[in-house]
Every structure is written in C-alpha cells, then in structure tokens.
Amino acid sequence: MMKKVLLHICCGVCAYSAIKALKDKGFYVEGFFYNPNIEPLDEYIKRKDTAAEVCQISKVSISEGSYSPQQWHDIIDGYKDDIEGGRRCDLCYEMRLRETLRVCQEKKIDFFTTTLTISPYKNSNKIHQIGKKLSDSRFLAVDFKKNDGFKETMRFAKKHNLYRQNYCGCLYNR
Ligand code: SF4
C-alpha cells in the first residue's frame, strides 16, 4: 500500500516542487500549513492562500494548524537578535516540526517532512537533524533544494502568477 507523508508547508511557492518530488518517490501527500512565525497577519493570509492554491493545482489536500504568534514569541524572543540561521531559526524550525509530528501521529500518517529545506538560505542538514531528533522513525529527511527544486518552484510560481514573499517570515528578519 502507498505510504503517506504529511508535508509541512512553509509557503505556497515552496510547496510545488516538494509535492512533486514526494509523489515521484511514490508517496501519497497531505499538506499541513502551520507557521505561527509569519507576521503580520495579512502576510500570513497571503501565504496560506497561495499554499491552498498550489495544493489544489497539485491535487493534494491541505489543513491549517493554529495561528498562534504569541506562542511563537514566547519561545523565540530570547533569541530575537540572532542572525538568520542561528539559534532563533533552530527553535522556529523545531516548533513547526514538533506540531507537524503531533498531527502526523494523530492522523496515523506514516511520515512527516517539511518544505523548509527547499530554500537556498536554509541549512538542510540542520533541519534534518531537528526532524530526526523529534522522531527518527517518522521524519523523512528529503533535501528539496536538490535537483534544481528551488528553480523549478520559481518557474512554476511565475507561470501561475503566484504570490512570492521577499522575507523568511518573522519580523526580526525584515
Ligand atoms: S528568520 Fe525564518 S526561520 Fe528564522 S526565526 Fe524568522 S521566520 Fe523563523
């Protein structure tokens, strides 16, 4: 039987080639949009709507986690002056992956992974280490930036005239 994977989606544009790569590997994909790091609210809504549009085009379902920026700030604010890629980002990845794992277990889905590794600005090994630390057996360590994944997703965004953000997500990085 086809194995199922819950894909944490950080933004719509990044989802396209990640969904395609997982489908090419033979997985049944379900999307999960959980990003309490994204501020302000109108930016969050734009990214969520774009993620829903991409999932519709890619014929996969998507659910939304709770939008809880205060919980995110409670965890992150002690590290708000870190550079991008520092401890602040590690905690931000971990928070989002932890919730993805919780939903994955709740829905009895075989694996979970994240679109976060598609960004050329993000260290995929670090993200994989965090995912594996949370669940070695359930985390699928795929590096979506491989095989020109980022370029492919940008071409798709242009073709479909999708919204593309110009910052990672939090206001500490603008
Ligand atoms: S820069 Fe991105 S990954 Fe780092 S804390 Fe901000 S939103 Fe999270």
Burial (CB count <10 Å: 0-12, 13-18, 19+), residue 40: exposed
- Contact 168 CB / ligand 1 (< 6 Å): yes
Quote the pLDDT of residue 39. 97
Mutational pocket test of ligand 1: of 79, 89, 95, the residue with most ligand atoms within 8 Å of the beta carbon: 89
Which residue has its alpha carbon closest to ligand 1 atom 3? 89
DSSP designation for 29: E
User: Span 146-153, mean pLDDT?
Assistant: 85
- Given a contact cutoff of 8 angstroms between Cβ atoms, the answer to whether 95 and 72 are in contact is yes
What is the model's pTM? 0.96
Residues ≥6 apart with Cβ < 8 Å to 30: 4, 5, 6, 7, 60, 61, 62, 63, 107, 109
Average pLDDT over residues 40-47: 97
Is there an atom of ligand 1 within 6 Å of 72 CB?
no
The CA distance from 141 to 147, in Å, is 15
Residues above pLDDT 70, as percent of the chain: 100
CB of 92 sitting under 6 A from ligand 1:
yes
**Percentage of the residues of the chain whose pLDDT score is greater than 90:** 84
**Structure confidence at residue 172 as a pLDDT band (50, 70, 90):** very high
30 three-class SS: strand
Q: Which of 114, 34, 117 is nearest to 69 (CA)?
A: 34
Is the pLDDT at 148 greater than 90? The verdict is: no
Strand partners, 28: 4
Confidence of residue 149 (pLDDT cuts 50, 70, 90): confident
Mean pLDDT of 62-72: 98
pLDDT on residue 151: 87
The mean per-residue pLDDT over the stretch 91-113 comes to 98
pLDDT of residue 16: 92
Mean pLDDT over all residues of the chain?
95
User: Is the pLDDT confidence value at 61 over 90?
Assistant: yes
- The answer to whether residue 174 scores a pLDDT higher than 80 is no
CB contact set of 142 (below 8 Å; sequence gap of 6+): 18, 21, 22, 25, 113, 117
Gap between the Cα atoms of 173 and 24, Å rounded? 34
Q: Tell me the domains of the chain and their CATH numbers.
A: 4-173 (3.40.50.620)
**Lookup result for tokens 């944490």:** 8
Give residue 126's Cα distance to chain centre. Answer: 14
Cβ burial 99-114 (10 Å sphere, 16+ → b, else e):
bbbebbeeeebbbbbb
Ligand 1: atom nearest CA of 116 is 3
